[in-house]
A and B are shown apart, each in its own frame.
Chain A
């Protein structure tokens, strides 16, 4: 079932105030907060989507990566069957802690609905799906560390079983200003073969 070759068509890393697309640095700032970095990246790439500013940090991270990889992939005249397979280590803990802080004091108990809606990691997949009008398969997994073998096999199964035409895979880890996103688009055509070792090599760069 997993004999068909698949290919990494494009990949993107976001960490340490820098965005690298297909191996080339395309945006970099001096050390700053993620709030500032993400806002400036949004402005630099001229993204016009005001809901971005309502997202939590994890969703902003995933959204920025997806924006760069899907920019030229989405065909507005047909349904785009691009599955989303994401994972991370800290789930939505960064936002969970913020929400917990808003309800921990009985004398000052004002839970924020806008924060609460992001207390699940897979909300970032919803944000990407809404933005690009995707009605495709999507899954979010939690691992101790980036699991290249699992991600590679899962994407191959989706493609080989025709559940998707392409798969956007992503590791999107965010907690307390520490972050790393590694997103890559997998399809049936391309030059860089989609293999466990290749994915791991690109992740570690």
Chain B
């Protein structure tokens, strides 16, 4: 689980081009949207694509993202439970 969280932090910085954020600055329970990392709606769509591409998880209802993408912790838990690759 710790390895997955680390992997997610690296992917998020890389895929979402968060040039000015360092890996160690992202805490497992920090909100990804709003006051936390300040991600926006396009970032949310990009995370949905990442779930599909890298973990074989297709989100049928994009609204599910609201709970899944709350933090690195919630993302990792969801991926661990639902990944197909």
User: A residues engaging B (CB < 8 A)?
Assistant: 39, 50, 53-54, 110-114, 117
Name the prevailing secondary structure of the A interface residues: helix
- The answer to whether A113 and B49 touch across the interface, beta carbons within 8 angstroms, is yes
Could you tell me the distance between the alpha carbons of A113 and B52 in the complex, rounded to whole angstroms? 13
User: B residues engaging A (CB < 8 A)?
Assistant: 16-20, 38, 42-43, 45-46, 49, 52-53
Q: Chain A nearest CB: distance from B74 CB in Å?
A: 21
Q: Which chain B residue has the least Cβ–Cβ distance from A49?
A: B20
- The answer to whether A117 and B42 touch across the interface, beta carbons within 8 angstroms, is yes
- The answer to whether B49 and A54 touch across the interface, beta carbons within 8 angstroms, is no
Q: Chain A nearest CB: distance from B59 CB in Å?
A: 13
What residues of chain B lie closer than 8 Å to A53, measured between beta carbons?
17-20
What residues of chain B lie closer than 8 Å to A113, measured between beta carbons?
42, 45-46, 49
Could you tell me the distance between the alpha carbons of A50 and B52 in the complex, rounded to whole angstroms? 27
A-B contact sample (17 more), CB < 8 A, given A110-B49, A113-B42: A50-B18, A50-B20, A50-B38, A53-B17, A53-B20, A54-B16, A54-B17, A54-B42, A110-B52, A110-B53, A112-B46, A113-B45, A113-B46, A113-B49, A114-B43, A114-B45, A117-B42
Out of A39, A112, A117, which one reaches B49, CB within 8 Å?
A: A112
Can you give 10 contacting A-B residue pairs, CB < 8 Å?
A39-B19, A50-B38, A53-B18, A54-B17, A54-B42, A110-B52, A112-B46, A113-B42, A113-B45, A113-B49
**List of 6 A-B pairs having minimum Cβ-Cβ separation, nearest first:** A113-B45, A53-B19, A53-B17, A110-B53, A54-B17, A114-B46
